[in-house]
């Protein structure tokens, strides 16, 4: 019997091999049995390039699966049965009938306070906190300091040097207000490029989010002061998220006249990731597209979430997708891998079981009020978080990969994505990759050259180590 926690904070991989079930928190451990096959699942490549992670229960390997969050697996007499034990979508039907906004805001504060307390109790002493300058991590820090009023909490944040935009001013507001013992980490390629291969190897499945490297370096620093680190992950999937507004507009206005009909919402959802979805037919070898099932296979991943009876509200359907896919297959697993490799446990108070359930109970108009995301969270913590942080719009951490790939990382990118290497693996259109490397804006769909190069770089480093075994 295997059970994964409700949000997916910790990951479980499994396969049935030689009439027995083999499982681990790392894919690498499954390969301790040399007979477990390392066959690449060809459909996973377009999935990865579309999402920047491999969504759902399947992995990059044909025979290896990932138990999804809130699920239980029972293997008996050669048969495997999987069911969900945490059906948070039902909470929408059981939501309290009150229309009083203030009551809902108080419930939000109470749930988050309890969730932070539970996470702090795991360590027995003050945890470290990853601080981004946004509302989510600021709320977590503010409540965590109430658990340790006499002890300064260690906090960590990253920036990318004086040439690039940063969140340091907002971070400093929280550091000064709560007198934390803070470390600003400056992230530059020269500090991590020699460790890049190992960081990708730690991931098990490739994740093309550039924030992976800062996560690893923050975790290494935090490991010097605590065994547990709290973070603000979960605020976007449960109470906001940058894709919700364009998706609501897409549902409202429908497909444009020139769109080819079916699966319009699914297509728009995949497009909203703004990764390589619209580049696939130029980036990948035509045989890969054919063998993977193409666009139909990709939209088919999203269709069940839109067709399900619960949750009923469209905004809640979007959040259910983000909780079950992006949360468990990208956000949480990425942080878990980077922190576990440094010997510490990462806990997300905003992604606890009670916070996920409350997300479905909470009226959608309190989560997204017009174009203001996470309204209920902002109101719940406005007395303990500085007003400029509460009032600022969502601003994701912009890792300057588009500059790195043209400057400090250019030689590394060109060497890793050389024609010889690409031809060896055989999946990619080398001419198109060359245009990406050269930042050919006339030929590249949707631009974002740096992010697309980072995703390709991540895949190649992963493939060499995990499939070709070039450690």
Q: Average pLDDT by consecutive 10-residue portion of the chain (471 residues)?
A: 96 91 95 91 98 97 97 94 97 78 95 97 93 96 96 97 94 98 97 96 96 96 97 93 82 81 88 92 96 96 96 95 94 96 97 96 91 93 97 82 95 97 96 91 74 97 95 76
Q: Is 188 found in the same domain as 139?
A: yes
Within-domain flag for 375:
yes
Looking at the structure of the chain, the number of domains it has is 3
The answer to the question of residue 423 being in a domain is yes
What's the pLDDT score for residue 244?
Answer: 86
Residue 344, both tokens: 């510490």
Q: What is the CATH number of the domain that holds 37?
A: 3.60.20.10
Answer with the one of 360, 391, 422 that is the final residue of a domain.
Answer: 391
Distance between CA atoms of 293 and 283, rounded to whole angstroms?
16
Assess whether 366 and 416 both reside in one domain. Answer: no
Of 197, 235, 234, 232, give the one whose Cα is nearest residue 216.
197
Residue 229, in any domain of the structure: yes
Are 231 and 364 in a shared domain?
Answer: yes
Structural domain of 48 = 2-86
Q: Are residues 222 and 340 in the same domain?
A: yes
Does residue 272 sit within a domain? no
Same-domain check for residues 223 and 365: yes
Same domain, 209 and 137: yes
Distance CA 283, CA 436 (A): 10
pTM of the model: 0.95
For residue 178, the tally of other CB atoms under 10 A from its CB is: 20
CA distances from 349 to 39, 136, 315, 382, 441 (A): 37, 10, 22, 18, 41
The residue from 86, 106, 138 where one domain ends is 86
pLDDT reported for residue 242? 63
Task: Say yes or no: 81 and 122 in one domain.
Answer: no
Of 341, 373, 391, the position where a domain reaches its end is 391
Position 124 scores a pLDDT of 81
CATH number at residue 350: 3.40.50.620
């Amino acid at each position: 019997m295997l059970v994964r926690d409700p949000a997916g904070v910790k990951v479980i991989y499994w396969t049935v091999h030689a009439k027995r079930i083999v499982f681990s928190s790392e894919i690498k451990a499954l390969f301790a049995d040399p007979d477990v096959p390392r066959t690449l699942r060809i459909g996973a490549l377009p999935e990865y390039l579309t999402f920047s992670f491999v969504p759902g229960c399947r992995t990059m390997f044909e025979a290896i699966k990932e138990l999804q969050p809130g699920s239980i697996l029972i293997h008996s007499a050669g048969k495997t049965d999987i069911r969900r034990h945490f059906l948070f979508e039902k909470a929408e039907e059981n939501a309290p009938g009150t229309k009083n906004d203030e009551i809902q805001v108080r419930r939000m504060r109470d749930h988050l306070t309890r969730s932070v307390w539970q996470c702090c109790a795991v360590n027995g002493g003050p945890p470290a906190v990853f601080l981004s300058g946004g509302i989510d991590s600021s709320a977590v820090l503010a409540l965590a300091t109430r658990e340790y009023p006499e002890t300064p909490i260690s906090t960590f944040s990253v920036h990318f040097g004086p040439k690039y935009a940063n969140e340091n001013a907002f971070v400093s507001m929280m550091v000064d207000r709560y007198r934390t013992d803070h470390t600003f980490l400056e992230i530059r390629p020269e500090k991590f490029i020699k460790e890049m291969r190992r960081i990708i190897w730690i991931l098990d499945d490739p994740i093309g989010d550039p924030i992976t490297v800062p996560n690893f370096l923050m975790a290494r620093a935090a490991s010097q002061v605590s065994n547990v680190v709290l973070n603000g992950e979960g605020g976007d999937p449960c109470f906001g998220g940058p894709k919700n507004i364009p998706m609501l507009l897409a549902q409202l206005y429908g497909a444009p006249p020139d769109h080819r009909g079916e699966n319009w919402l699914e297509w728009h959802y995949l497009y909203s990731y703004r990764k390589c979805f619209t580049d696939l037919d130029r980036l990948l070898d035509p045989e890969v597209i054919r063998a993977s099932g193409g666009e139909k296979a990709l939209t088919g991943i999203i269709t069940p979430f839109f067709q399900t009876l619960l949750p009923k509200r469209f905004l809640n359907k979007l959040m259910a997708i983000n909780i079950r896919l992006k949360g468990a297959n990208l956000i949480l697993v990425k942080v878990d891998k980077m922190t576990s490799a440094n010997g510490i446990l990462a806990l997300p108070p905003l992604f606890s079981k009670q916070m996920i359930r409350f997300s479905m109970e909470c009226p959608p108009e309190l989560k997204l009020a017009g174009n203001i995301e996470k309204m209920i969270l902002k109101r719940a913590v406005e007395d303990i978080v500085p007003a400029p942080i509460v009032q600022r719009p969502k601003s994701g951490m912009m890792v300057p990969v588009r500059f790195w790939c043209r400057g400090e990382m250019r030689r590394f990118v060109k060497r890793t994505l050389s024609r010889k290497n690409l031809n060896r693996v055989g999946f990619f259109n080398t001419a198109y990759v060359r245009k990406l490397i050269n930042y050919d804006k006339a030929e590249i769909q949707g631009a974002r050259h740096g992010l697309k190069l980072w995703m390709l770089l991540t895949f190649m480093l992963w493939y060499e180590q995990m499939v070709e075994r070039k450690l």
